[in-house]
Structure 1
């Protein structure tokens, strides 16, 4: 049986005689990924509005609800390794497309549950319990999403284009985040703080449930990238990637540590950091975040194409050294000035592109095709849970204990650790990708 004939027989495959469309593959991954990450990021953007509704205030500390809300944000991250392992196994056993359709449904369900979360005043402890369950569902989904979509994107790329295709992982992630930021900023500009707290914050989550269904519909038409040989061979065991490739698993962790702390600090936590530490207006902080995210999305394909020409390592090393040197002065430069926050955020986005535009390609190029999705998903998601998901909580906690100036050093230190990994990492850009 020829490859084309096999594709004709498989659901979601390209019709016989018609070549696969690279644009269609990018759309299938990107639209669903954007929907996934819209739902995920809407939580962090709107936390300052619903924290008081779900969690009771401490007797003498107004930061208690915000700290509790970011703690739940971190709890969602700790489901991501499980999602990376389970959905990665589905992608390696049943196909990348099957895993992608499951993750988008989970995310939509979690978003709907957040929207329906009752207030603490009306139901007591049930309110935070419902919120935690919703974030656990979303964490499971996001962990599986990165594993499946990373593998799907890079395997869909032609020779010499893996970096470019890789960059769309964060293009679509950023589009989802941008929509979340834009919707949040629009609501904040049209409603008072009281109206936002009373129920305006629920609207973006209801919208997220709807666009997740749209993403599910689009993904059903994606073409499977797992090769015929893998589809017809024995299925990998659940922990086969960890047992057979421990060095590669550790490499994923080292590659990700600095990137994830820098990414979540600059793209998610910085508006809250500016509000808590410099008294920056919440509405203006969301607007700055929206503008800088547009800039960030435009940078990603440029970084991906550059890595296809000069390799992945120069970009990774440039990112890590840049943050190791400039994270502290940049974060200390944040004031209550609109221009200062915008410049700080955009400067960080330029440095961050050295990691985000190539991360998917580097991760996929490390593991063999048989266990690629699960091999990436578990160590990547575990590292993100430990360092990315806790960033907002740690930053807010440093402020609470009176040492807000330590958080920038924490970011710089992790980036320096990853820089050492990047220096020792073999260049993978010119390798033939096994499928």
Structure 2
């Protein structure tokens, strides 16, 4: 049996001379992660502004450019399993910090490429090609980011604090999303519709490229949490986690399915859902999303702390059962009023915290340290691609097909499937983490 190569207790300082500092570790993971997800989410928030600039309209149907833009959004997600596997392997073979450095540089490059994407009128088919390439680069980066930062955060935690540290995965993710939403909202209120469609949508992506450079610099000061095997032939193979731990890989898929669909529906697509289904004002929809995201970020540490006390399963089951029962009435409750959208978003955020605040800890506790990053990265990113990345496109397509009522039932049903997985999931909160 292959012995784990992760740092045993007390070995961190021998492997990395940087001082032990929980705050510094949290900052290194969180700021870089926020930069990653700012770049990723800026695309979905601004899609309604640049869709018809990059994609031509088809036979008078105004939803065609938006559908095409969300299709590219989904394409980016399908690079995430590749990124999860490749960057996860780098994290297991060369250390978590090395993988985190690569992912932040890839994301910054992809963001810059989106900002420089030409319009269809200026470059023809080259315009959507450039956009697709940029999203593929970003998808590779984001897939690797979750694998590396999840293991880095949880391995940096002290005894009885894995849930709390885990919550900073989505605190930083939400802060990045909040920054993207806030900048998009500010631009939407300051600039005219014509200015936003002409050049305003490019500004957030340029800002994202700069933020990624800052995140890269901060991550250089992080302390490594995983001791790398010196002999190259003794390091884990690319598919070792899948070969030796097939049950754990399937478990990650079941844990993630309902959570990722609910997450991307509530935190990313809901403003667009309100615009498409109720004629909601674009600027007001972005403002409601920004307020609810700030509320969501504040909830995450509370969920993490609670899970360290009562366990992971009660929170997971509460999330899944809550969404299975309430997804349909909540989405049907959205009207053309600002208050209705804000209340629906905040109600969903409370339920969603049962999953997001502890997802990193639950995933990390499933795999041994030797293959933890790659073991998490591939099945998690594949599941997110299948169910999270396709959510905006599927919801928009159902609206175009005349069946908008089907999407809320889809969310409810998949959360029910995950609820069944959570019921048989072993409780891991009090178990020592494999080192």
Q: TM-score, normalised by structure 2?
A: 0.96
C-alpha deviation, 1:30, in angstroms: 0.1
User: Partner residue of 1:268?
Assistant: 268
Distance 1:203 1:4 in 2: 46
C-alpha deviation, 1:434, in angstroms: 1.1
Q: How does 1:49-68 map to 2 (within 5 A)?
A: 49-68=49-68
Which string of whole-angstrom CA distances, capped at 9 and with x for unpartnered residues, describes residues 233-252 of structure 1?
Answer: 82000000000000000000
Which string of whole-angstrom CA distances, capped at 9 and with x for unpartnered residues, describes residues 81-103 of structure 1?
Answer: 00000000000000000000000
User: Partner residue of 2:210?
Assistant: 210
User: Partner residue of 1:386?
Assistant: 386
Q: Are 2:403 and 1:403 equivalent residues in the alignment? A: yes
User: Partner residue of 1:224?
Assistant: 224
Which string of whole-angstrom CA distances, capped at 9 and with x for unpartnered residues, describes residues 261-281 of structure 1?
Answer: 000000000000000001110
Q: Are 2:32 and 1:32 equivalent residues in the alignment? A: yes
User: Partner residue of 1:120?
Assistant: 120
User: Partner residue of 1:365?
Assistant: 365
User: Partner residue of 2:243?
Assistant: 243
Q: How does 1:97-246 map to 2 (within 5 A)?
A: 97-227=97-227, 230=229, 234-246=234-246
Which string of whole-angstrom CA distances, capped at 9 and with x for unpartnered residues, describes residues 320-365 of structure 1?
Answer: 0000000000000011100000000000000000000010000000
SS at match of 1:201: helix
Residues 35 and 176, structure 2, Cα contact 8 Å, conserved in 1: yes
Q: In the superposition, relative to structure 1, how do residues 3 and 332 fare at CA in structure 2: closer, same or farther (>3 Å)?
A: closer
Distance 1:190 1:397 in 2: 31
Q: Are 2:265 and 1:259 equivalent residues in the alignment? A: no
SS at match of 1:99: helix
Distance 2:151 2:8 in 1: 20
Which string of whole-angstrom CA distances, capped at 9 and with x for unpartnered residues, describes residues 368-421 of structure 1?
Answer: 000000000000000000000000000000100000010000000000000000
C-alpha deviation, 1:231, in angstroms: 5.6
Residues 12 and 225, structure 2, Cα contact 8 Å, conserved in 1: no
C-alpha deviation, 1:205, in angstroms: 0.1
Distance 1:377 1:387 in 2: 16
Residues 95 and 227, structure 2, Cα contact 8 Å, conserved in 1: no
Distance 1:163 1:410 in 2: 29
Distance 2:11 2:167 in 1: 29
C-alpha deviation, 1:227, in angstroms: 3.5
Is there any run of 5+ residues in structure 1 with no aligned partner, and where?
none
User: Partner residue of 2:346?
Assistant: 346
Q: How does 1:274-423 map to 2 (within 5 A)?
A: 274-423=274-423
C-alpha deviation, 1:14, in angstroms: 3.6
SS at match of 1:271: helix
SS at match of 2:377: helix
Distance 1:141 1:330 in 2: 33
User: Partner residue of 1:89?
Assistant: 89
SS at match of 1:367: coil
Q: TM-score, normalised by structure 1?
A: 0.96
Distance 1:60 1:5 in 2: 66
Distance 1:348 1:6 in 2: 42
User: Partner residue of 1:429?
Assistant: 429
Runs (4+) of structure 1 moved beyond 3 Å? 2-10, 230-233
State how many pairs are aligned: 428
Distance 2:304 2:10 in 1: 33
C-alpha deviation, 1:5, in angstroms: 10
Distance 2:420 2:385 in 1: 21
C-alpha deviation, 1:7, in angstroms: 5.5
Distance 1:246 1:4 in 2: 28
C-alpha deviation, 1:59, in angstroms: 1.2
Q: In the superposition, relative to structure 1, how do residues 417 and 7 fare at CA in structure 2: closer, same or farther (>3 Å)?
A: closer
Distance 1:194 1:224 in 2: 48
Distance 2:434 2:405 in 1: 46
C-alpha deviation, 1:3, in angstroms: 8.3
C-alpha deviation, 1:60, in angstroms: 2.4
